[in-house]
Structure 1
């Protein structure tokens, strides 16, 4: 998308080393809009394809974590549905959660991918081995990542990233073969 983004070879090398995928929520797993009913109860819309992508990478022993500045019961519920156990909500300093995850999983920066969409995500995006953003990320984020999806946040951006990782790690043919075999 711009000259600061990685070459295809560099991008695939970065994605091939991913062992932990960390995702922001608002603007990444959702389209960034917040819905409140008359009682102040919040609801969010998550894309089913993003969820399936998360399940696919988890099946291949890639840990998935959520790190978000806001707290929402809907996020906890969706994470539970997807089997995501590492959830950090209410993180005004996302770097702290990032460091805790790396220590807990004994990982280096190069083994971590992160998808974020706004300025609050830059401290992590500038450290990880694979920094990514949805198509509609803030321009200051988009120009600092290794890769930006074609899809917007909450509209399949996470699925795109999961497929990139699966392809780089050589798992994509097996995913397709399994899907085609299920149709037979």
Structure 2
């Protein structure tokens, strides 16, 4: 009996510790994912009706406001931006960007992509440091400020070849 009592108390202590750990575990972090272009349900509906809207057209382009043909260049990798508060990373923001260029200018964008990415990262870090990714970071005012800063940085890096910067995906993961 003297040898059985310590083993029994150890098992009860381990079981109580595991139970307390399970009960006191914090809830999982919430992931906020925004798709500015919609969820794709309209494409599925049009494909079901047999029209060509849902077809993959690649980077054929579209017409700009002046009626000229525009092309869209998706930058190869996503941008990861830390949101820092009091010397501690609070969250990570992941963005995918595309740029709108004139016809035949895609190769120029790919050739100067490292400089363009550096300019974009500097703008994104500045935006994060000013608190642009805290709270309701996807409201219209915050997104307009970010888009305008990205457009300005793109024009400084490459010139007037780029007519617009598109934020195609944005997600924030709290750490």
Task: Give TM-score, length-normalised by structure 1.
Answer: 0.28
When Rg is computed on C-alpha atoms for both structures, the one with the higher figure is 2
Task: Give TM-score, length-normalised by structure 2.
Answer: 0.29
